[in-house]
Amino acid sequence: MVSGGKFNAAKLALEVVRDGMVLGIGSGSTVEIFLNLLGERIRREEMEIYGVPTSYQSYFTALRNGIKIVDLEYEPEVCIDGADQVDAKMNCIKGGGGALTREKIVASASKKVVIIVDESKLVEKLSMPVPVEVLPFGYPYVVKKLHDMGCSEIRLRHGSGKVGPVITDNGNFVLDCNFGVLEDERVERLEEKIKTVRGVLENGIFPKKIIDRVIVGKG
């Protein structure tokens, strides 16, 4: 069942879309609702929309809804994406679906980034484990370095439909890393510090400096 909050956030995000636009397309359930609503509008208004998807999920959903798939040679005017947590300053944690690296690339390449969430994702301060995408070869080394950095607990993410760890669309592992509560001034520092570890591709901290707008849907 679709939550009212997710639906309302996705519906409001349609207002930023114009005919002929190139969209960065994030991943997750709220983005999927957005794409389905956009597909209805494309058919109704005979629009032409181009999209750069960040996962196979968003790729197939975009195709099904009449969006023409392009790559990052075309600069997205707006990136529409979800989040797992959003704090009071608009810092986000993303990567629950494992697409964090491509999501951050597309967000960074886009002129504007709009995050769509329901109100259950709002927190005063970020506190959930931070997803970190890691090259399998570097896994033991990365775990040690993240512990040295003050991470209290690190879990190699396992899937429910397969034996063994989750493998990202890029062929890598995801670690869920508990750094505790992140004060606003710590968010950007930690995001940069994690990226200095050899073997880390990306992490799921999306600092406020790359977020332009957050749309929060209520039931």
| Chain segment 16-75, per-residue pLDDT in tens | 999 999 999 999 999 999 999 999 999 999 999 999 999 999 999 999 999 999 999 999
- Region(s) of the chain under CATH 3.40.50.1360: 4-123+208-217
- Secondary structure of residue 171 in the 3-state scheme: coil
- Please give the CATH architecture assigned to the domain spanning 4-123+208-217: 3-Layer(aba) Sandwich (3.40)
Max CA separation in the chain (angstroms): 55
Quick check: is 46 catalytic? no
Q: To the nearest 5 percent, what fractions of the chain are helix, strand and coil?
A: 35, 25, 40
Number of H helices, E strands in the chain: 6, 13
Task: Say if CB 138 and CB 198 are below 8 A apart.
Answer: yes
The whole-number pLDDT of residue 70 equals: 98
Mean of the pLDDT values across residues 205-214? 97
Which DSSP state fits 1?
A: -
For residue 1, name the pLDDT band (cuts at 50, 70, 90).
Answer: low
Task: Say if CB 20 and CB 135 are below 8 A apart.
Answer: no
Closest to 178 in 3D by CA, of 130, 116, 121? 130
Closest to 100 in 3D by CA, of 136, 134, 66? 134
Fold classified for 130-204: Alpha-Beta Plaits (3.30.70)
Residue 23 is inside which H or E element, if any?
Answer: strand 22-25
Average pLDDT, the chain: 96
The whole-number pLDDT of residue 2 equals: 64
Q: Is the pLDDT of residue 4 over 70?
A: yes
Please give the model's pTM, rounded to 2 decimal places: 0.94
Which of 102-111, 144-153, 159-168, 201-210 bottoms out in mean pLDDT, i.e. has the lowest?
159-168
- Region(s) of the chain under CATH 3.30.70.260: 130-204
Mean of the pLDDT values across residues 183-198? 96
Phi-psi label, residue 46: left if phi above 0, alpha if psi -120 to 50, beta otherwise: left
Q: One of 103, 133, 191, 202 is an active-site residue; which one?
A: 103
Q: Please provide the DSSP assignment of 160-189 as one string.
A: SSSSSB---TTS-EEEEEE---B-HHHHHH
Q: Is the pLDDT of residue 3 over 80?
A: no
Q: Is the pLDDT of residue 162 over 80?
A: no
Q: Is the pLDDT of residue 15 over 80?
A: yes
